[in-house]
A and B are shown apart, each in its own frame.
Chain A
Amino acid sequence: MAGIKVFGHPASTATRRVLIALHEKELDFELVHIDLKDGEHKKEPFLSRNPFGKIPAFEDGGFKLFESRAITQYIAHEYADKGNQLLSPGSKNMAILAMGMEIEAHEFDSVASKLGWEQIFKNFFGLTTDQAVVKEEEVKLGKVLDNYEARLGESKYLACDHFTLVDLHHIPVIQYLLGTPTKKLFDERPHVSAWVADITSRPSSQKVLL
């Protein structure tokens, strides 16, 4: 059997999103390292895996996918009986999950990724952090986290009372932000802070850290 392969980079947040899901499901896989510095993701053969030239790409015994959140959902459904439950049964519970995933993608990640880029990834490329952007984006993130604080006051995790894909999708970028001054935004909100401590201490979250 060809098995599961992930084509990406161990430091990439989107790649880590998929790796954490695979660890939660206790699945064996191979991480095929794509050389971003060399532009491998913008050339063949990678472009045949993802014509948008972004990591990760994924393969499960010949079945190919890209887009990290489509991959994690495939893993969660296809391997529903293995490892930890990442979904919530019933159409209304799945709708709440879907809503939580959309909020992460459209409200949280758009802002949090900018903060990660400015404060961490720009340094890898020898560029300077733009503090004005950081300040602006922290205001936006604060508002999103206010909504999360209210939600986590009612529910242990974002979608329901157990850990699901909604929480998982947040982990990689939060892990990076905890190493920056933006950490204070999480610390200042008690329910958010407890949730962050919980999701980042899971064994699967720890496994993706270098």
Chain B
Amino acid sequence: MAMKVYGNGMSVCVARVLLCLHEKETEFELVPVDLFACHHKLPSFLSMNPFGQVPVLQDDDLTLFESRAITAYIAEKHKDKGTDLTRHADAKEAAIVKLWSEVESHHFNPAISAVIHQLIVVPLQGKTPDAAIVEENLEKLGKVLDVYEEKLGKTKYLAGDSYTLADLHHVPYTYYFMKTCHAGLVNDRPKVKAWWEDLCSRPAFLKVSPGLTVAPATN
């Protein structure tokens, strides 16, 4: 039976999982969850993820949540097909992939998600973006991208010379970010820009990006 992913293609965290499934050429069924109707807060959903968030993965008797745990599971289960997303064959290489995955999780994600929350989610709630929060987080994001610019001058991808989960996890938020008026943060850094354009050329990306339909409020 194919894996089931509960969530919607426009959700960043769901898209992370979908990218991984496509990179691994794995069949799956996407089961939509109506977030605007708060279906993710119903007992039937909370029994799968008590934190009430998408995505959730079901694979036979296994139920998983947290997108980066799901991608790690998919990458490991299907390590012998598709793209090698974890460099599982070598402990030290695998550790470097985990390191840059942690960087995405703890340095990149907090800053970029705060910007996207203000520019895309807050207007959907009928409120005005907080410019101070945007500015503060753009500054943090800029510093992270400075580190990336230096790293990508030495290696083609963040964890080395091949595409891994460390790169993949960045894609959905960056895609939305590039639709805002702050895309210069990426475009003004030549190595980061080249890396981003490479990530956008991957077949898996071309399958997932049409689902990333939310747009920033005009700004």
Contacts and interface: CB of A to CB of B under 8 A. Distances in A.
Contact of A51 (B69, B98, B106, B150): B150
B95 A70 contact: yes
Q: Chain B interface mostly helix, strand, loop or mixed? A: helix
Interface stretch (B22-30, B32-40, B71-79): B71-79
Contacts of A74: 91-92, 95, 98
A102 B66 contact: yes
Given A52-B147, A69-B102, A147-B50, A78 B91 contact: yes
Interface stretch (A3-11, A88-96, A200-208): A88-96
A95 B60 CA distance: 13
A98 B103 CA distance: 16
Interface in B41-89: 50-51, 62, 64-66, 68-70, 72-73, 76-77
A147 B66 CA distance: 14
B64 A77 contact: no
Contacts of B68: 98, 102
The size bracket of the interface on A is 20 to 34
A103 B66 contact: yes
Interface residues of B, number: 30
B4 interface: no
A67 B106 CA distance: 9
B105 interface: yes
A78 B94 CA distance: 11
By DSSP majority rule, is chain A's interface helix, strand, loop, or mixed? helix
Contacts of B94: 77
B1 to A, nearest CB: 15
Contacts of A77: 91, 94-95
B107 interface: yes
B101 interface: yes
Interface string B139-166: 0000010010011000000000000000
A104 B101 CA distance: 15
A105 B68 CA distance: 11
Given A51-B147, A67-B106, A95 B73 contact: yes
B178 to A, nearest CB: 23
Contacts of B64: 95-96, 99
Given A91-B73, A95-B73, 12 more contacts: A52-B147, A67-B99, A69-B102, A74-B91, A77-B91, A78-B91, A95-B72, A98-B73, A99-B65, A99-B69, A106-B105, A107-B51
24 contacts: A52-B107, A63-B95, A65-B96, A65-B99, A67-B99, A67-B103, A67-B106, A70-B95, A70-B98, A70-B102, A78-B92, A78-B95, A94-B73, A95-B62, A95-B76, A96-B62, A98-B69, A98-B73, A99-B64, A99-B65, A99-B70, A101-B69, A107-B51, A150-B50
Interface of B: 50-51, 62, 64-66, 68-70, 72-73, 76-77, 91-92, 94-96, 98-99, 101-103, 105-107, 144, 147, 150-151
Interface of A: 51-52, 63, 65-67, 69-70, 73-74, 77-78, 91-92, 94-96, 98-103, 105-107, 147, 150
